[in-house]
């Protein structure tokens, strides 16, 4: 735009971000949840952090209590949350109109150098290939011995945690071995990162939860909270994937091109997880361990590909409503979300009424068409990992050049260097075909047939 219009827009940025700020205050500070009860009548505190732990519990009473109490809190503020989301979408429409884009989606994807067709291809292909997810729900239903699944049954593991302590030293050794196929330069840098204090390993007082990787010119920094579990081992592989992407981009690009775009940010991390999964599956002879590993991978597919695609579709639909000058009421948002859950999960899952409010707790809906990138990155990394495992030197070199690319090219062109064309629906279809085969193998392993 002209300098005058850009100045006006720049002056409005604080106002434009007010809906997002209000959401975080309401969600993180002002919203309180009622305590939950387990099957023994014990009263436990419910927080955003403990909610996922409760949903993964084998105690159905606890899962249901957490699910209902969580969304009961959002039900009390649903009209306020709807108003904030409505304002956010109106702001996107205003700015995209002003800049001459046909839609808010087009304006947002263009900032990353990604055609909006990639977004739409994801949703279209997932719709076309929805049957494997429905199959997985049938397997989950049989494994849990229920006539139908409730929404609070979707996260409970189908195989109890494999009783195996994985120390940080073991996790380092296996994670490093799993990437040996990437060659000397990669392996030497990876090993240096593991052993040269790039990583803050264990939980500590005042330390933030979860895991994180930050790339800076000297070397990346990785934050973990390692707990000697399989999940922590995969977290190490994931975060070191980010770290190596940053390390190689900073090493091989001038500073201005060294920071890669969000669209490709999760490719290296999930690719490393896929390589570690292959390494562990190739070496296990224990059926229970194999079932546990495959269940872990299936949940990655469901949570990262299918669920993020569903949320991306929700975001696209609500912005289309605003484009038609409709108001995003809580009733409309609930209906859209209910219908999507019914389609995605199929006839074996009861779409319990509280899940209609899930939109009210998703901070990414204030990040402007961000969610789809989780799904596309996951599909791209699955395609790349399959190429790498075949051991073709050219494929390995192409992937390393992708890691070294920073943002020297558009994200789409960088992925094409690695042999994946995300403007095509093929990588999404291929990933779902892999998921379908894993569902069948898992079904056999747990003797559900």
Which residues belong to the active site? 239
Cα–Cα distance measured from residue 11 to residue 314, given in angstroms and rounded to the nearest whole number: 30
Cα–Cα distance measured from residue 213 to residue 221, given in angstroms and rounded to the nearest whole number: 6
For residue 234, which of 201, 264, 270, 204 has the smallest C-alpha distance?
Answer: 270
User: Given the DSSP bridges, would you call strands 212-214 and 221-223 parallel, antiparallel or unpaired?
Assistant: antiparallel
Dihedral of alpha carbons 344, 349, 352, 353, sign: positive
- The answer to whether 139 touches 442, Cβ cutoff 8 Å, is yes
β-sheet with 199-200: strand ranges across: 199-200, 221-223, 212-214
Q: Which two tokens stand for residue 260?
A: 């890669």
What are the DSSP calls for 281-338, one per residue?
HHH---HHHHHHHHHHHHHHIIIIIIHHHHHHHHHHHHHHHHHTT----HHHHHHHHH
Cα–Cα distance measured from residue 63 to residue 75, given in angstroms and rounded to the nearest whole number: 18
For residue 353, which of 329, 334, 330, 325 has the smallest C-alpha distance?
Answer: 334
* 403-432 burial: b if 16+ Cβ within 10 Å, else e: bbbbbbbbbbebbbbbbbebeebebbeebb
Cα–Cα distance measured from residue 405 to residue 113, given in angstroms and rounded to the nearest whole number: 15
Residues 6 or more apart from 406 whose CB is under 8 A from it?
249, 250, 252, 253, 257, 258, 259, 260
Max CA separation in the chain (angstroms): 68
What are the DSSP calls for 386-423, one per residue?
HHHHTT-HHHHHHHHHHHTTTTSS-HHHHHHHTT--TT
3-state SS, residue 357 = helix
């Amino acid at each position: 735009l002209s300098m005058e219009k850009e100045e006006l827009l720049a002056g409005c940025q604080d106002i434009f971000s007010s809906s997002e700020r209000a959401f975080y205050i309401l969600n993180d500070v002002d919203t309180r949840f009622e305590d939950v009860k387990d099957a023994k009548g014990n009263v436990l505190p419910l927080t955003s952090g403990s909610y996922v732990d409760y949903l993964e519990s084998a105690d159905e009473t606890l899962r249901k209590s957490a699910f209902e109490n969580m969304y009961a809190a959002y039900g009390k503020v649903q009209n306020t949350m709807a108003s904030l989301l409505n304002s956010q979408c109106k702001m996107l429409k205003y700015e995209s109109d002003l800049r001459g884009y046909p839609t808010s989606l087009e304006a947002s994807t263009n900032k990353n150098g990604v055609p909006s067709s990639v977004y739409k291809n994801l949703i279209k292909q997932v719709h076309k290939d929805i049957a494997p997810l429905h199959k997985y729900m049938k397997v989950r239903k049989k494994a849990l011995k229920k006539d139908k699944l409730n929404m609070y049954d979707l996260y409970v593991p189908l195989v109890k945690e494999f009783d195996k302590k994985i120390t940080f030293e073991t996790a380092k050794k296996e994670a490093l071995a799993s990437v040996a196929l990437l060659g000397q330069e990669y392996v030497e840098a990876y090993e240096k990162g593991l052993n040269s204090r790039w990583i803050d390993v264990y939980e500590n007082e005042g330390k933030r939860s979860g895991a994180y990787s930050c790339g800076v010119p000297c070397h990346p920094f990785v934050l973990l909270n390692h707990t000697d579990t399989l999940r922590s081992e995969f977290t190490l592989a994931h975060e070191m994937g980010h770290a190596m992407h940053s390390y190689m981009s900073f090493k091989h690009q001038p500073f201005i091109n060294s920071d890669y775009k969000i669209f490709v940010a999760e490719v290296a991390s999930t690719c490393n997880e896929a390589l570690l999964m292959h390494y562990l599956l190739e070496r296990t002879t224990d059926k229970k361990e194999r079932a546990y590993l495959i269940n872990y991978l299936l949940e990655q597919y469901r949570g990262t590909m299918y669920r993020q695609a569903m949320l991306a579709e929700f975001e696209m639909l609500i912005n289309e409503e605003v484009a038609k000058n409709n108001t995003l009421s809580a009733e409309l948002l609930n209906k859209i979300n209910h219908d999507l859950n019914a389609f995605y999960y199929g006839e074996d899952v009861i779409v319990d009424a509280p899940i209609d409010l899930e939109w009210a707790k998703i901070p990414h809906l204030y990040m402007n068409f961000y969610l789809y990138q989780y799904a596309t990155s996951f599909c791209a990394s699955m395609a790349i990992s399959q190429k790498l495992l075949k051991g073709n030197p050219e494929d390995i070199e192409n992937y390393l050049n992708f890691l070294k690319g920073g943002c020297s090219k558009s994200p789409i062109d960088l992925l094409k260097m690695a042999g994946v064309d995300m403007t095509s629906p093929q990588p999404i279809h291929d990933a779902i075909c892999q998921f379908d085969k894993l569902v069948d193998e898992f079904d056999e392993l747990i003797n559900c047939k």
